Amino acid sequence: MALAAPVSHDDIFGTEAVRNARAVDDALRELGPVVKLAREDITMITRYAPVSDGLKDWQAFSSRSRPWHDATSVRPEILLTDDPPRHTAVRPVIASALSPRALAQMAAAFSADAEALLREVKQRSGTVIDAVAAISRPFVYKVLPDLLGLPMQGREHMTAFGHMVWATMGPQNELFHEAMENAGPVIEWVEQCCNRENLEPDGLGMQMFLAADRGQITQAEAKLLVGILLSAAADTTVMTVSTAMHAFSLFPEQYQELRRDPSLVRSAFEESLRWDSPSRMAGRIATRSVEIEGYVVRQGERCGLMFAAANRDPRKWPAPDRFDIRRDLRGHLGWGYGVHACVGRSLALLEADALLKALIRHIERFEPAGEPEPWMTTIGHGPAGLPVRIHAV
Ligand code: HEM
């Protein structure tokens, strides 16, 4: 007989819970591998093994509908909202635009931008800076729209757009409505800047339309792909770099280790993704009944597969709260897993490589100077502000 899953009556997406998302998610995981959220009528899968199994089994955990799914929302309805075969037909368009050859051509521009930014930031040595406002956001918000070939005008709407898209992945609560305030001009900008005629001819955005010209996808799908690139690539990367800097301030010996051995840059970024993942969960719908450690998730149930909690599950990760850039990170779920695993991973890693290498060249150490200000969105997670005192090399 199936076990009765523990039920939580807490609001894990409310303002207070979002402020403490790390502790909230970890506590849910310790309640059980499957937990019902009474308020939202959602089944949360919390521990490493079942989350990774669930992400792999796209037939049982479909993306075609999701908790809180609204097909009319600002979220581009493509890829993350598809299962194979449609998903399989569209994904290679982005994957091939991010081929190793294409990435090699981007590397020099990323390094030059990172170097210029850090030369400026190091002038503030000895003072407290907000590392999100001074380092991670300006870097990503410059290199990404440049790469996509977006017009300069209106780029200031990127933050609000990212926030709105993240909000659509969670319940329509107070935080959702805050994110949607003044949506009009943002939606108008996205609508315009994802149009073919407004994209630079040699940018990544135009690559989507060239794939449509070749008949791989439709013109409408090309426009949706530009929208998903814009929304999926920005804040995830900003948050992961910001979290890495937070960790560098809390674990100074790890930062010194990285400075001694810059070949660890990638591990440091991946460990940051594991240690405090920027996406709390992936939404799916169960298409059939699935047994998980004696509990049964029934067909039709709305599910949340908890990346962040799974990435700190002590059943998988020794001393999970410790930031350790030499840990064996194989199998962490910060990029997702299975057919929807992040298709932009190599791009994010390239950005991280440029920025973290510039950091270790110019910043000798980060000193904590207060609590990070949390990013107030239900599903996304990370510092929106990070006070640290920097000491230049
Ligand atoms: C550190 C930065 C990043 C993180 C942590 C991250 C995380 C993720 C995760 C967890 C998923 C899976 C979501 C799910 O299964 O529901 C995903 C998918 C995706 N990511 Fe990323 N991402 C990052 C950067 C990027 C970048 C730079 C791009 C731009 C190319 C990108 C584009 C996408 C797309 C298009 C998908 C959907 C893939 C699919 O459905 O097949 N991401 N990402």
Residues 32-62: tens digit of each pLDDT: 999 999 999 999 999 999 999 999 999 999 9
CA distance 240 to 279: 10
Q: Ligand 1 atom closest to Cα of 283?
A: 16
Return the ligand 1 atom nearest residue 333 CA. Answer: 10
Tell me which residue has its CA closest to atom 12 in ligand 1: 336
Q: How confident is the model at residue 325 (pLDDT cuts 50, 70, 90)?
A: very high
What's the CA gap between 332 and 108, in Å, rounded? 29
- Stretch 247-259: mean pLDDT: 98
User: Rg (Cα) of the chain, in Å, rounded?
Assistant: 20
| Residue closest by Cα to atom 4 of ligand 1 | 236
Q: 274 alpha carbon to ligand 1 midpoint, in Å?
A: 15
Residue 189 CA to ligand 1 centre (angstroms): 22
For 197, counting Cβ atoms within 10 Å of its Cβ (0-12 exposed, 13-18 middle, 19+ buried), the class is exposed
Helix (H, G, I), strand (E, B) or coil at 380: strand
> Using omega within 30 degrees of 0 as the cis cutoff, is the peptide bond preceding 262 cis?
no
Ligand 1 mean position, distance from CA 232 (Å): 6
Residue 167 pLDDT > 90: yes
What string of DSSP letters covers 61-85? EESSS-TT--TTSSS--SSTT--TT
| For the CA of 240, the nearest atom of ligand 1 | 1
Q: How far is the CA of 282 from the centre of ligand 1 (A)?
A: 11
Q: Whose CA is nearest to atom 16 of ligand 1?
A: 282
Ligand 1 atom, smallest distance to 337 CA: 15
Q: Which atom of ligand 1 is nearest to the CA of 225?
A: 35
Query: Which atom of ligand 1 sits closest to the CA of residue 63?
Result: 16
For residues 247-268, average pLDDT: 98
pLDDT number for residue 257: 98
C-alpha 345 to ligand 1 mean position (Å)? 7
Question: What's the DSSP call for residue 197?
Answer: G
Lowest mean pLDDT of 99-113, 260-274, 302-316, name the range: 99-113
274-to-121, 267, 313, 322, 338 alpha-carbon distances in Å: 27, 10, 10, 10, 17
Write down the pLDDT at residue 1.
83
- Testing ligand 1's pocket by substitution, the residue of 63, 303, 342, 349 carrying the most ligand atoms inside 8 A of its CB is 342
pTM of this structure: 0.97
Residue with the bigger pLDDT between 236 and 182: it is 236
Confidence of residue 65 (pLDDT cuts 50, 70, 90): confident
Query: Nearest CA to 268 among 138, 337, 166, 366?
Result: 366
Angle at 358 between CA 273 and CA 118, to 5 degrees: 110
- The pick from 69, 86, 236, 284 for probing ligand 1's pocket by mutation, whose C-beta has the most ligand atoms within 8 angstroms, reads 236
User: 377: part of which helix (H) or strand (E)?
Assistant: none
- C-alpha of residue 349 to centroid of ligand 1, in Å: 12
Task: Specify the ligand 1 atom closest to the Cα of 98.
Answer: 30
Percent of the chain with pLDDT over 70: 100
Distance 2 CA to ligand 1 centre (A): 34
Q: Pick the residue whose CA is nearest to atom 24 on ligand 1.
A: 233
Query: Mind listing the pLDDT tens digit for each residue in 366-379?
Result: 999 999 999 999 99
Residues with CB under 6 Å of ligand 1 are 79-80, 91, 94, 228-229, 232-233, 236-237, 240, 273, 278-279, 282, 307, 334-336, 340, 342-344, 347-348
Q: How far is the CA of 367 from the centre of ligand 1 (A)?
A: 31
Contact criterion met (CB below 8 Å) for 370 and 290: no
- Of the candidates 261, 384, 282, 389, the one whose C-alpha atom is nearest the C-alpha of residue 325 is 261
